[in-house]
Amino acid sequence: MNGVDPTGKRPLILIADDDMMIRVMAAARLEALGFSLIEAENGAEALKAISHVKPELFVLDVMMPEIDGFEVCRKLRTNPEFAHVPVLMVTGLEDADSINRAYETGATDFVTKPINWVVFGHRVRYMWRAAKIGEELRRSESLNKTLLDAMPDLMFHLKEDGAIQNLKLPRGRQGAWSPAELCGKNIDEAFGIDSGERLISKCVAKAIETREVQLCEYQVRSGRTLTSYESRIVAGENEDAIVIVRDITEKKNAEKQILHLAFHDPLTGLLNRNSLKEHLNQALAQAQRHGRCLAVILFDLDRFKRINDTFGHSTGDKLLQGVADRLLSCIRKSDVPARSGPDDLISAVGRLGGDEFLSLLPEIDSARDAGRVARRILESISRPFLIGGEEIFITPSIGISIYPHDGSDPESLLKNADAAMYHAKDQGKNNIQYYNKSLNLAASERLAMENDMRKGIERGDFAIYYQPQVDLRTGDIVGCEALLRWIHPELGHISPAQFIPLAEETGLIVPLGQWVLFEACKQAKAWHAGLPSDVRVSVNLSSYQFRQKDLLEVISEAIESSGIEPTHLELEITESAIMQDTDRAVLTLGALREMQIRIAIDDFGTGYSSLSYLKRFPLNVLKIDQSFIKDITVNSRDAAITTAIIALAGSLGLEVIAEGVETKEHMLLLREKGCDLMQGYYFSRPIPPDDFAKVLRNSNGWSCHLSTANAMRETAVFGVASQIPRRAR
């Protein structure tokens, strides 16, 4: 019961003495205390023994033949393995020189002969315990030093008067600061903070007073460079403090980028749809207060699809950017009456999506003011654009609605401006039309398509194609997105961009979406049963579906009737859908999470993009919109935004999928940035379920290295896609 090690392990002691009786007495005493012993008759034997065993304590006689105890101790201390192992010297010499020499060679303690064995045992046990404590302290200090060295922060001790001392520079950033510049200086002075504000010093004083951690953020300008910092201040034991300074410039820039995305179109920099609606609401309220008119000018580009098909999407995007620039130049401050007051409004210009743009003119005097601006837009955009050495001609069809004559709410004004725009197209395009109540042609056309859609649902004209989602680390197909396709018996494939908005407008999106959900779950279950694969299927939920009261019941029924595991189902929801009623969205998403269904935010960055909802809602995945991916290898802004979104998702524990990956360069850059999954034509276009099964079967799970992804793409995916008739792609 005298063991010194609570783990039950008997610590090993080496005793070296040429007196056998002392070795026997020492062994008996130490074994009774819970130690194990090995013996050596002299210093040479002791040094030879440590090449085979690792004693945790040494007892050395000072006077031994061949190599004495002093020399053994000196050699032990030069060996890193035994630099801190305790050494007890046994000597019959009680002179001060011998004692001093023992300590100088590295001895921990000494005992004199004749030996008091009770004292000897206690001294050995104390030395061993002290050594273990010292070992733990060294290990802890080493760990702390490693952690401190790894921190990307500046750290220092701050005196009560605010003077900096004990500086620890951030790893890899030694060039940013130097001890000579900081040590001894007042903290506010060292960081260029206005001495009148004394921002950090005030936080230090508060930390010392309250004994609570204080945080403060500030910016420091050096030449043309503005750097953002965050200081975390912790009170010390006395009237001092520890300050940790972190460079948060990249974080702040990322937050600004994402905040910008919440209100602006990423391609053109104009206001996005949500921002335009907010501006329209404010403008209507002000126009009502002042009893004035308001104009909505809506236009899109005639035959824009032909530009994309002829010159490619990259040229189409540059054309949209050029249109945005000209649109801004067409809107002048003189188009709005001069006002004074806190609620002044100016013209709002934005992109609703695709090639559709909107200009809002608040508080105009008459419809003529709107017509004057519309003519400037028409003339400006009709001039040729020079893009990539090519002259490209495009014309706008412009529709105008006026408050209060054409509507008293945002929806009516936008709808009527849209009707006027379609009337302009019917009148030969490249012209301006005001709304009037006789404009019903566009409505009639939409009604005809609605009827065709209803018949198509009954006839079974709709199909589901699947586009693989690929793990960027392993190359495995881990999932797929279910995409609705309308194959009209006469018109062939109708673009989702045409029928999805109409389906949402008419409410048909709910039965269509429900059909997609049930079919996709059944299809995934069939793949799981027939193939060595457990891919998950991702289904889009429209905002209309998301607002359905029986949504959870419908999803539960789809899971139960198909037999699919809930973890193999992922639901894609747009930002706008969950932001319409955030309280209800929290409850719905929470219920889906409890069902173990994955939740993805679709087209992240193109809608509201609020940091608050990312924190509040139980999400699993962010899908980076393809508009950011298209030019990611050539556009530093797109690359920066994509990097920021990936970093943001990583810090929140969210998975990231990049949409629209079309080239190997896209794939390599995304993998380098830490993106998890990708989806796009580089691996496969959306394909029918049977062809998707062939891809899964032929690719053997795609468990190959991404370095061979190009060859894999050509053989495993496009080999399948090439068998699909062109009309069905």
The tens digit of pLDDT for each residue in 349-394 reads 999 989 999 999 988 888 888 999 999 999 999 999 999 888 899 9
Instruction: Residue 365: count other Cβ atoms within 10 Å of its Cβ.
Output: 9
Residue 341 banded pLDDT, cuts 50, 70, 90:
very low
What is the token pair recorded at 540?
A: 């889009």
Q: How confident is the model at residue 97 (pLDDT cuts 50, 70, 90)?
A: confident
CA distance 425 to 414: 17
**What is the average per-residue pLDDT within 465-488?**
94
* In the predicted structure, residue 728 carries a pLDDT above the cut 60: no
Mean per-residue pLDDT, 252-281: 87
pLDDT digits (tens, 9 = 90+) for 148-200: 666 667 777 777 667 777 767 666 554 456 666 677 677 766 666 554 456 77
Average pLDDT, the chain: 83
pLDDT bucket at 507, cuts 50 / 70 / 90:
confident
Least confident of 18-32, 533-547, 589-603, 710-724: 710-724
Q: What is the CATH number of domain 257-439?
A: 3.30.70.270
The predicted pLDDT at position 332 comes to 61
pLDDT of residue 200: 73
> Which residues fall within 8 angstroms of residue 113, CB to CB, at 6 or more apart?
22, 90, 91, 92
Distances in Å between the Cα of 4 and the Cα atoms of 55, 138, 252 are: 15, 21, 55
The token pair at 115 is 């030996």
What DSSP character marks residue 329?
A: H
Instruction: Give me the residue spans of the domains in the chain.
Output: 12-148, 151-172+179-247, 257-439, 463-484+496-698
Q: Say whether the peptide bond before residue 114 is cis (omega within 30 degrees of 0).
A: yes
The reported pLDDT for the residue numbered 705 is: 39
Q: Alpha-carbon distance 68 to 57, whole Å? A: 17
- Residue 615: pLDDT over 60: yes
Confidence label for 548 from pLDDT (cuts 50, 70 and 90): confident
Question: Is residue 408 predicted with pLDDT exceeding 70?
Answer: yes
What stretches of 7-116 show up as alpha helix (H) in DSSP?
Answer: 20-32, 43-49, 69-78, 96-104
The pLDDT value given to residue 446: 72
Q: Per-residue confidence at 338, pLDDT binned at 50, 70, 90?
A: very low
Cα pseudo-dihedral 485, 489, 493, 495, rounded to 10: -70
pLDDT of the residue at 270: 93
Is the pLDDT score of 345 beyond 60?
no
- Do the beta carbons of residue 435 and residue 417 sit within 8 Å? yes
Question: How sure is the predictor about 244, in pLDDT bands with cuts at 50, 70 and 90?
Answer: confident
Q: Which residue has the higher pLDDT, 344 or 661?
A: 661
Percent of the chain exceeding pLDDT 70 equals: 84
Torsions phi, psi of 483, nearest 5? -120, 125
Which CATH fold would you assign to the domain 463-484+496-698?
Answer: TIM Barrel (3.20.20)
Q: Which residue, chain included where needed, has tokens 């999407």?
A: 313
Decide: 241 and 166 in contact? Cβ < 8 Å.
no
Burial of residue 26 (CB within 10 Å: 0-12, 13-18, 19+) is buried
Q: Which of 613, 675, 619 is nearest to 643 (CA)?
A: 675
For domain 12-148, give the CATH number: 3.40.50.2300
pLDDT band at 344 (very low <50, low <70, confident <90, very high): very low
Domain 151-172+179-247, CATH homologous superfamily name and number:
PAS domain (3.30.450.20)
